[in-house]
Chains A and B, each alone.
Chain A
Amino acid sequence: MEYKDYYKILGVPRDASPDDVKHAYRRLARKYHPDVSKEPDAEARFKEVNEANEVLKDPEKRAAYDALGDQWRAGQDFRPPPGGGTWHREYRFSAEDAGQFSDFFTSLFGGGFGRGGEDLFKQRGQDQTVRVEISLEDAYRGATRQLRLETPEIDKHGRMHTRSRTLNVRIPQGVTQGQQIRLAGQGTPGSRGAPAGDLYLEIAFLPHHLFRAEGKDIFLRLPVAPWEAALGATVTVPTLGGSVSLRIPAGSQSGRHLRLKGRGLPGNPRGDEYVLLEIAVPPAHTPEEKEEFRRMAKVFSFDPRAKLGG
Chain B
Amino acid sequence: MAETTKDLEGVVLDEALSITLAELSAVCRASDQTVRLMVHEGLLRPLGERPDQWRFSGAQIRRARRAVRLQRDLELNLAGAALALELLDQIDALQARIRNLEFQLGSHTEE
Bound together, the chains give a CA A26 to CA B7 distance in angstroms of 41
CB distance from B60 to the nearest CB of A (A): 12
Task: Give Cα A109–Cα B8 distance, bound, in whole angstroms.
Answer: 37
Given contacts A164-B3, A180-B58, contact A30 B11 (CB under 8 A): no
User: Which of chain B's residues has its CB closest to A146's CB?
Assistant: B5
Contact of A221 among B16, B62, B96, B109 (CB under 8 A): B109
List chain B residues, Cβ under 8 A from A33.
Answer: 69-70, 73-74
Q: Give a binary string over B35-72; 1 marks a CB under 8 Å from any A CB, 0 the rest.
A: 00000000000000000000000100110011001100
Chain B interface: which of A13-21, A165-173, A239-247, A287-295? A165-173
Q: Are A276 and B12 in contact (CB under 8 A)?
A: no
Interface residues on B, range: 35 or more
Given A29-B74, A179-B14, A198 and B5 contact (CB-CB distance below 8 Å): no
Q: Decide if A35 touches B8 in the complex (CB within 8 Å).
A: no
A212 lies within 8 A of B73 (CB): no
B109 — which chain A residues lie within 8 A by C-beta?
209, 221
User: Beyond A33-B73, A35-B69, is A212–B103 a contact (Cβ under 8 Å)?
Assistant: yes
Contact B6 A167 (CB under 8 A): yes
- How distant is the Cα of A246 from the Cα of B96 in the complex, in angstroms? 27
Instruction: Report chain A residues within 8 Å CB of B58.
Output: 179-180
**Interface pair B7/A170, CB less than 8 Å apart:** yes
For A149-189 the 0/1 string (1 means CB < 8 A from B) is: 00000000000010111111110100110011111101000
B73: which of A29, A144, A199 is its contact (CB, 8 Å)?
A29
A33 vs chain B, min Cβ distance (A): 6
Do A214 and B106 form a contact, CB below 8 Å, given A164-B3, A180-B13?
Answer: no
B46 to chain A, nearest CB (A): 18
A243 to B14, CA, bound (A): 29
Q: Which 9 A-B pairs rank lowest in CB-CB distance, beginning with the nearest?
A: A181-B10, A183-B10, A170-B9, A180-B13, A168-B7, A212-B103, A182-B11, A35-B66, A169-B8
* 23 residue pairs from A and B, CB less than 8 Å apart: A33-B74, A36-B70, A127-B29, A166-B5, A167-B6, A167-B8, A168-B5, A168-B8, A169-B8, A170-B8, A172-B12, A175-B12, A180-B61, A181-B13, A182-B10, A183-B8, A184-B10, A184-B11, A186-B8, A199-B10, A201-B10, A212-B100, A278-B106
